Amino acid sequence: MTAAKTSIKWGCVAIDCPQPWELARFYGELLGWQPHEDDKPDDDWVTLVNPGSGADIAFQRDPEFRPPTWPSPERAQMLHLDFEVSDIEAEHERVLALGARLLDDKPTSFRVYADPAGHPFCLCAC
């Protein structure tokens, strides 16, 4: 497939959650990214700025948010984030200390976690 020329640029991934600032803080610590300079703790939309000029991660307040029940399909996940790591054991301990919850450690090349709001994400040593 040949990519068509377009003026569209991917800007961010937006994640619904009950507390945007808190979830941005979790992922900011995980990645070493900072919130946009204009964002404040009580904002309904908080953006973590990708320092590598790639897509940002934004967090949008949803007071009705209910986390996915992965792996149960009762409330399916809509997407999940994968993070490549060179030392899965060290990063495992770090994400748990930041507030993540381990969901699955059976695969040998990746582990599945839930962030503090309940969204699944993976650490991948692939």
Backbone angles phi, psi at 19, to 5 degrees: -135, 90
Domains belonging to the chain, first-starting first, are 11-65 (3.30.720.120), 67-126 (3.10.180.10)
More confident residue, 72 or 117: 117
pTM assigned to the model: 0.87
Q: What is the pLDDT of residues 66-110, one digit of tens each?
A: 998 888 888 888 889 999 999 999 999 999 999 999 999 898 899
Say what the pLDDT of residue 7 is: 82
Q: Map the chain to HEC letters.
A: CCCCCCCCCCCEEEEEECCHHHHHHHHHHHHCCEECCCCCCCCCEEEEECCCCCCEEEEEECCCCCCCCCCCCCCCCCCCEEEECCCHHHHHHHHHHHCCEEEECCCCCEEEEECCCCCEEEEECC
Q: Tell me which residue has tokens 């000029």.
A: 53
Band (pLDDT 50/70/90 cuts) for residue 1 is low
Average pLDDT over the chain, rounded to whole?
Answer: 93
